[in-house]
Structure 1
Amino acid sequence: MSTKSALAQQLAIVAGFEDPTVSLEQYRTPPELAATLVHTADLHEDIADRTVLDLGCGTGMLALAAALRGPTRVVGLDIDPAPLATARENERKVASTTDVGWVRGDATRVPLAPDDPTTVVMNPPFGAQSDNEHADREFLGTAADIADVSYSIHNRGSVEFVEAFAADNGGEVTHAFEAAFDLPHQFEHHTEATRTVDAEVFRIAWR
């Protein structure tokens, strides 16, 4: 197994969004954060010999990180076809030994029902936009329906919400850690060249 830093280096070539949509909160997951999340999942034996599903995969950062760690298969799902095209290009650049299936679909109404052990990885919208509040709740609902375990990135201060949601839906938060999320200047409302926001990552075991 490659080191976390080596995985981050492999992911550095993954391109982000060419024309991101504000309402979908489309941001490229930082390679270091993706590497940390997937490395943690691998240490918990949640990647190898399992199906890994990346909900709202965007240009494929988390899906490709998982693909580099020997899962049975990886599926990246996103509602927007444009980033899926970029994700396919990113897959060719990363050149993992595991093929990734890229599927256009709504992560809140997943048309997939894996019957083998399944891990969900996701960086759902934080719900920062007024018309997109609680978007991460629906992503967690999908994870509860189809996964044995999930890893998800949320805005800082989400501990109480995530723990309560998991408990109400047959799950349990087993691990959590803080992370930095670097946001580039890509929308008109951004006033800085780059901005770092605090985030939290949760591992949930679903029963």
Structure 2
Amino acid sequence: MATKRALETKLAVVAGFDDPRAALEQYPTPPELAAHVVHLADLHGDVEARTVIDLGAGTGMFALAAALRGPARVVGLELDPSALAVARENERRVAASAPVHWVRGDATRAPLSVPDPATVVMNPPFGAQTGNEHADRAFLATAAEVSAVSYSVHNAGSREFVESFAGDNGGTVTHAFGASFELDRQFEHHTEARTEIDAEVFRIEWDADGSV
């Protein structure tokens, strides 16, 4: 297994959004965060030879991280066609050997049918925008439907919510850890040139049949 640092280095070529949309909370996932989460998933046997699904894939950071760790296949589901176009370009840059299928669709109503137990990796919207509160809830609901295990990034302070949601939907939080990363200013409502984001990452095992 390649090191986490090696994975992070390969992901450094992944480009972000050409024209990010605030309503979709299109923030780039830092390569160090994606490498950390996918490395952890790989250590737990949740990547190699598995189907890995990136819900709200954006420009493909999590999907491509997983594709570099020997999965059977990767599915990147994303609503924004311009983001998918960048993701396809990023796939060529990364040159992963595993097959990656880019699907345009709403992650909260996933048009997927997965015959085998799958792993979800995702950085869903935090629900930080007015009118979009708890946007990550719908992503978790999809993860519960399509996966046996999921790894997801949430706003700091989400542990009680995530554990409660998992418990109500046949899931168990097995691991949780804090993470922080910096984002450059990209929307008008940002007041600082660079902001540090505090987040939490959760591994959840779901009692699901792996199909929608």
- What TM-score comes out, normalization by structure 1 length? 0.99
- Structure 2 runs not aligned, ≥5 long: 208-212
The Cα of 1:191 is off from its aligned counterpart by 1.5
Match of 1:129 in 2: 129
Give the 3-state SS of the residue equivalent to 1:141 in structure 2: helix
Give the 3-state SS of the residue equivalent to 1:132 in structure 2: coil
**Counterpart-to-counterpart distance in 2, 1:26 and 1:128:** 12
Residue correspondence of structure 1 range 115-194 to structure 2 within 5 A: 115-194=115-194
Match of 1:106 in 2: 106
Give the 3-state SS of the residue equivalent to 2:106 in structure 1: coil
Give the 3-state SS of the residue equivalent to 1:57 in structure 2: coil
**Counterpart-to-counterpart distance in 2, 1:101 and 1:175:** 28
The Cα of 1:99 is off from its aligned counterpart by 1.8
**Counterpart-to-counterpart distance in 1, 2:68 and 2:25:** 26
Percentage of matched positions with identical amino acids: 70
- Structure 1 runs not aligned, ≥5 long: none
Number of residue pairs matched by the alignment: 207
Match of 2:21 in 1: 21
- What TM-score comes out, normalization by structure 2 length? 0.97
**Counterpart-to-counterpart distance in 1, 2:16 and 2:53:** 19
**Counterpart-to-counterpart distance in 2, 1:177 and 1:4:** 17
* Between 35-44 and 178-187, the greater mean CA deviation after superposition: 178-187
Give the 3-state SS of the residue equivalent to 1:152 in structure 2: strand
Q: Tell me if structure 2 keeps the 8 A contact 1:76–1:103.
A: yes
Q: Which letter does structure 2 place at the counterpart of 1:90?
A: N
**Counterpart-to-counterpart distance in 2, 1:86 and 1:162:** 31
Match of 1:63 in 2: 63
The Cα of 1:192 is off from its aligned counterpart by 1.4
Q: Aligned Cα RMSD in Å?
A: 0.6
The Cα of 1:181 is off from its aligned counterpart by 2.5
**Counterpart-to-counterpart distance in 2, 1:205 and 1:74:** 19
**Counterpart-to-counterpart distance in 2, 1:120 and 1:102:** 14
Residue correspondence of structure 1 range 6-17 to structure 2 within 5 A: 6-17=6-17
Q: Which letter does structure 2 place at the counterpart of 1:7?
A: L
Task: List structure 1 runs of 4+ shifted beyond 2 angstroms.
Answer: none
Give the 3-state SS of the residue equivalent to 1:167 in structure 2: helix
Q: Tell me if structure 2 keeps the 8 A contact 1:23–1:131.
A: no
**Counterpart-to-counterpart distance in 2, 1:14 and 1:153:** 19
Residues 1:79 and 2:79 are matched in the alignment: yes
Match of 1:199 in 2: 199
